[in-house]
Each structure stands twice: as C-alpha cells, then as structure tokens.
Amino acid sequence: MPNTKGFAKKSKVTQGGVGLSRILSRQHIENTSYEISFSQSRMWGSNVTREHILQKITLLAMLGGVREGTKEHELIPRPGRASCLTIEQEGEIVSNLAFLASRRKNSKAVVAIAIEEDEDGQGMTIRIAVNGDSVVHLKEGLVQISETLEQVSRLEQSEIHDIESLFRRVVILDFFRICTRLRLGRKHQIEASPITLLHQTLYDSSITEIEELRMIALREKVTALVEAYRRLKQTPQPLDKPTAYEMIEEVTRLAHSLNQSSGFSAALNKSSKFSSSKLASLGDSVAKLGQYYKAASELVLAARRKRCRIFRKIRVESFQICVPENVRVPSKPESALPLVDHLLQSHKTSKLLHRFPGSKSAVDAALTNRLNGERAGIKLHAEIKLLFYYESRPAHVRPRVICTNKSACYLCDLFFRIHGQFQLPRTFGKMNERWILPDWLHVPPSQIPALKNVVEQFSTALDSQIRLASKNMKRQPDPIESSVGISAHWSCSTVDKATWSQPIPSPNMTATVPTGRGLGPSHSEYPPAPGSLEIPIPSRSSSCTVLVPAPSLFPIPVPNIFQEYETLRPGKHICRRLAERGQSFTVTFHDLYATVSFDIAQSAGDERGTTPWVQIGFLESTEQPKLSNDGNNAISLEDIPEGAEVTATRGVGDPQTVLYVHWKRQAISIQCMSQLCDSSCPPILL
C-alpha cells in the first residue's frame, strides 16, 4: 500500500501544494480532452462530468489555488428589452439591496439579488438566493425594505423624511450584523478596533502630502467617529434597543461622512502606520459601516424618481437549490487516475515516480483523499443559483446584472464570463475550492446546447489555470472579499428638477417658505414661514436669512447623496465658508445629537476669502443663549417632531446677531461672520 499520508499533508492550500507543484513544474499539460473511465453522466451532454470538474478544482487547490486579485467589471449595455434603468442604475439598485439584505451575524453568508422589471414598467420582482439555509429570514428583511420603498415612491413625504425612515428601518433590521461589524462584544478591545486604528492612522505624522486644513477636517471627523464609537462600546450590555439604534445611526453617519471626505483615501495611502493590506482593511471597514446610510439614501433617491416607476409595486421571491446527498458520496479509489495519466503524458514524469513511492497511485490517493475531505463543505454559490434559476425558465424576464453582498469568487466570475448572459460587477479573484455546478437541476432541452458549450469552455479554462499554477509558486495575499456597492449616474428627473429649481434669495432679499402638507392644487396659497430672521453678513453683497420651516413643511433640500454631514453634540461647534451665492445647509435634530449637512454640489467659496463664514454650535445644558433685546433671535421648535429640518440661506440683518434654535432640551446657535475668528473651531473642507 503506497504511503500517501505525507503527500496529502504537503498538498494543503496553506502549504502551497509544494510537492505536486514540483511534479508539474515545466510540464506541458495538453489543452485537449481525455476519456473519463467512470460511469457518471456527462454534464448537459458535454464531454465533462461533475467528478471531472471537482477533481480539477481540487488539483488547482493543491497547487496553491488561484489569486488574480480584485477586479471591477464595467457593466456593458447590450441590445435587448427596453428598460427605464441604465445597466449601471440596475447595478446600483441590486448591489445596495444585496448589501442591506445581508442581516445575519455570520459574515460568511452570501446573498445574491436580481431585479425583474414588469412589462408595464409599474413594478418589479426582487429575486433572492442565499448561500446557505437562511433564505426565509433574509427574505423577511427584504420585504420590509421593499414596503418602505413602495411608500417612498408615492412622494407623500419629503426626501429627508424618506431617507430617515428607510435608514432607521435598515438599522433595526441589520442591527446584529452592524454590531458584529462594530465588534461590540466584550471580547473585543476598543483599542484594537478598526475605528480606533483608523484614528491612529489619520493622526500619523508621516502623512505630510495632504493639505493641512484638509487633514484638520479629516482628523476632526475621525475623532468624532471614535468618540461616538466609545460611547456605544461603553454602553452597558445588553444594549437598550431604542438608545442603541440612535447611537448606531450616529456611528454609521459619521463613517459615511468620513469615507466620502475628499482626501480620505489619499491620507490612508500616504500613511506608514500600518502595512498596505492593513490600511486597505481599515478603509474597507469604514466604507462598509457608511454603506448602510449610503445605500438607504441611494435607494430612496431612485424610488422617488417619477420616470422610475418600478418601485411602485415590489414583490420579493426567493429561489433555493439544495445540494443532493450523492454529491457527498466519497470518490472511489483510483477514480482520479484518468486525470493523473493525462498529466503524466509529458516529459519529467520520472520526477513524480521518484519522489512519491507508488507513482500514480500516490497522486491519485492524495487528490481523492483531499476531494473527499472537502465534499461535506461543498456549496452551490448564491449567484450560480440565480443564473440557473433563469436557465431553467428561459421564458422568464431576465435581469442584466446579478449582485451579491460580497464580490464573486474566481470560479463564479469565470463561469459568468463564459456564460455571457448576466454580468457581475466585481470579483475578488480568489478560487473557492468547495464549489459546484447544479448539473442535477432540470433544464429545458432548448438550453442544453448552450450549456454544453459553456461547461466545456469552463473545463478548458481550468486546464489553463492548472498549467499556470504548476509554474507559479508565488503565493499572493488574500484579497478583501466583501463589497460596498456601486453608484450609478442618474440624469435629472422631474423630482430632481423640482428639487434644484427652488428659488434662492438674491442679495438684499428675504426668502419665504410655504407651509402646508405638500405641494398641490389644494395648497396653492401659503402664509410666510414663521420664525424668519434676517442676519446680515459683512461682505460685499452678501446676506443671510435663516428659515425655520413649520411642521409637515415641504422642504428645500438638494439630493442627500450630494451632501456632507457633520455631527454636533453638546459643546461642539463647526465653521464653514459659504458659497458666493445660494449656499445652504440643513440642521436635523435627533434625541442625542444634531446633524448639519452642507450642499457640496455648490461652490464652497472663492479662494480670495471674500465670502462669509457660518458658525454652528450645540449648546451645553448649562450654557445660556445670548438673547437680543426683543428676544427675536430665539426660535422654539417644540411642536416639530424628531427629524425636523432647519434650512438656512442668505439674507440681510444685524451682523452681530446670533440665532438660537431650540428643540426639546437642545439648542444650537447659528452666527455668520466675515472671517474665521475662533481657531478652535474646525473648518469644514469639502
């Protein structure tokens, strides 16, 4: 009996497959098919069997696997049915849905999503497949997200309200997954968390090529993120849900703001605090945290578009394929000999015979033992499930893009590229050994010829990779497998135009804002907005009017995806140079904090420093506002619910006036000035 135990040990992926790699080095593996001696049926009438594919994948793993690195694929439009979405927009929607649908604490769970537009363009079906057995749980969360998006599409509320509504639902649904990302368990130390390490990175003195003011802004943001994370981490366990939701919302908003900041990626690349792979991991961590807010915002903006009506009626349907038990049946001894014979039909065969007593039997036993050891963990990947859902239903409406919450593995990406009917946005380029194709699934005869060609090309591509792997002994680092969605370009829709065409006050004019429940025939006349206060700005032709909307007011926001957020807590204040014309910002009150968002689609002020500054502060509980003689510089919003907006544009008034806005027990101060006088006030750079 040949001694195969040692060979099998050397063939582990973690060992790099040293023994077998030397056997196959400088050998030429012919790119031809060969006879398979076992009796298994061939896949879709091809010259390939399931065992054939599994053996080649196992052999590749023994040689060290495949690591081609992360690749972003350009989504290419192809002729076909009409759609209200571009292929990039479809990719954005499904990637965001896939990210938000991944609710389980287990980071290994993979969710694949595709959308099917209704023929009349008035609805869609979200198709979900899961790599595992949690499809019912994940589908329930997706149904709740869909219900919110249906409400958003009716345009009954403001954009800000819709984003906050969906974002809160996402935080509740994905609560345990977010907690896992934040490492809130007691076993995780604060000082070792990615957020704390990111703080150390951005304060690294080796970052010298980034503008000083930009680094000040980045460090201010990462400090706010660390402080919010520490408060959340130090909250007694178990977490009180309402309070925890609020705190997690703050952390994810801050992460989104930091990740979207200009210079953030450059600062990470310039730091020498950690290795490049560690820095990439830290950047990925903050991007994934911020993606919860970003995905919710992008989905709301898509659902509110009048030309995109597919959100009006949403159905969520799942598809599951179980791996049959006969896949787990061990391979028989000598079943890999045909593959071994094929590999040994070239020169240098004697090296194999000399190194491993028992010659072909030793190689066969090593390959078979490894394959049998991996059979219990073989899974049908989620994106492959969706591909074969449509293959088994050729008359069904087909999507153009299939997305998962993680990048596709090398084998999935390879099969999709050969198949050619669906597109994947990205791959992390690493081969997953426990992989299979569902050749047991019934496929209509009309689909057989195409699948036959695909699986034969797939087998040939594996042969090519075996040749490359046998020559290349260099082990590449493991890539980051997760993904954080893609963003598409959206042209200006009717809703977008209405948002951007709101009147902006010109110099020496006071703007008025309508009150009422919305815009429509029944609300054609509106009284002036209460609480308007004129505040002058000491510059050439500038003025500022702070407008405090009434409850249920139709706001004047710009799309939130073009805004940058700052979080205010008691005692904190920020400064921002206004644009030459029409610069606006929005203050949103919450129970524990307030957020300030500036429109970054507009100019942040000219370089000569002639435009004014605005300073916004959150008063401490013991701090008293400095009221004017008439008391008109204090406005109470007691009757406005949580999430109310305070939108400020420019007008005229007294340069020294400070406006105080109260909500519940909170108060913020707003003051305009010609120059930045307080060096402790961190400037905002966009």
For residue 587, report the phi and psi dihedrals to the nearest 5 degrees. Answer: -110, 125
434 pLDDT above the threshold of 60? yes
Query: Which ranges of 271-359 does DSSP label H, i.e. alpha helix?
Result: 276-303, 337-343, 349-355
Cβ atoms of residues 599 and 563 within 8 Å: yes
Q: Enumerate residues 6+ apart whose C-beta is below 8 A from 5.
A: none
Higher-confidence residue: 328 or 575? 328
Say whether the peptide bond before residue 503 is cis (omega within 30 degrees of 0).
no
Q: Return mean pLDDT, the chain.
A: 74
Cβ atoms of residues 499 and 559 within 8 Å: yes
Cα 99 off chain centre by: 6
pLDDT of residue 413: 95
Rounded CA-CA distance 626/631 in Å is 9
Cα 143 off chain centre by: 19
Task: Calculate mean pLDDT across residues 37-60.
Answer: 82
Helices and strands, counts by H and E, the chain: 19, 17
pLDDT of residue 598: 64
Q: What percent of the chain stands above pLDDT 90? A: 33
Q: In the β-sheet with 659-663, what is the strand arrangement from edge to edge?
A: 573-577, 613-618, 666-673, 659-663, 634-636
Query: 91-114 pLDDT, tens per residue?
Result: 999 999 999 998 877 777 899 999
* DSSP letter assigned to residue 46: S
pLDDT of residue 498: 29
Rounded CA-CA distance 407/484 in Å is 9
**Kind of pairing, strands 613-618 and 634-636?**
unpaired
Task: Calculate mean pLDDT across residues 605-624.
Answer: 67
Task: Calculate mean pLDDT across residues 425-433.
Answer: 90
Higher-confidence residue: 47 or 685? 47
Task: Calculate mean pLDDT across residues 633-641.
Answer: 66
pLDDT of residue 367: 84
> What is the band of 633 on the pLDDT scale with cuts at 50, 70, 90?
confident
DSSP percent split of the chain into helix, strand, coil, nearest 5: 40, 15, 45
pLDDT of residue 174: 93
pLDDT of residue 165: 94
Task: Calculate mean pLDDT across residues 529-546.
Answer: 34
600 pLDDT above the threshold of 50? no
> What is the band of 492 on the pLDDT scale with cuts at 50, 70, 90?
very low
> What is the band of 139 on the pLDDT scale with cuts at 50, 70, 90?
very high
Rounded CA-CA distance 660/237 in Å is 37
Query: 155-177 pLDDT, tens per residue?
Result: 999 888 999 999 999 999 999 99
* Range with the poorest average pLDDT among 120-129, 543-552, 566-575, 599-608: 543-552
Rounded CA-CA distance 35/267 in Å is 57
pLDDT of residue 359: 67
Cα 650 off chain centre by: 36
Task: Calculate mean pLDDT across residues 240-255.
Answer: 89
Cα 383 off chain centre by: 17
pLDDT of residue 565: 61
CB atoms inside a 10 Å sphere around CB 137: 12
Rounded CA-CA distance 452/446 in Å is 11
255 pLDDT above the threshold of 80? yes
* Range with the poorest average pLDDT among 57-61, 313-317, 546-550, 574-578: 546-550
Higher-confidence residue: 438 or 260? 438
Task: Calculate mean pLDDT across residues 68-73.
Answer: 87
Cβ atoms of residues 355 and 22 within 8 Å: yes
Query: 180-204 pLDDT, tens per residue?
Result: 999 888 888 888 899 999 999 999 8
* DSSP letter assigned to residue 374: H
Residue with tokens 């701090």: 623
Query: 268-320 pLDDT, tens per residue?
Result: 888 888 888 888 889 999 999 999 999 999 999 999 988 889 999 999 999 99
Cβ atoms of residues 96 and 470 within 8 Å: no
pLDDT of residue 50: 92
Dig out the tokens for 266 from the structure: 């450059």
* Range with the poorest average pLDDT among 67-71, 318-322, 328-332, 682-686: 682-686
* Range with the poorest average pLDDT among 67-76, 543-552, 622-631: 543-552
Query: 360-403 pLDDT, tens per residue?
Result: 787 788 888 899 998 888 999 999 999 999 999 999 999 999 99
Q: What percent of the chain stands above pLDDT 70? A: 67
Rounded CA-CA distance 556/448 in Å is 56
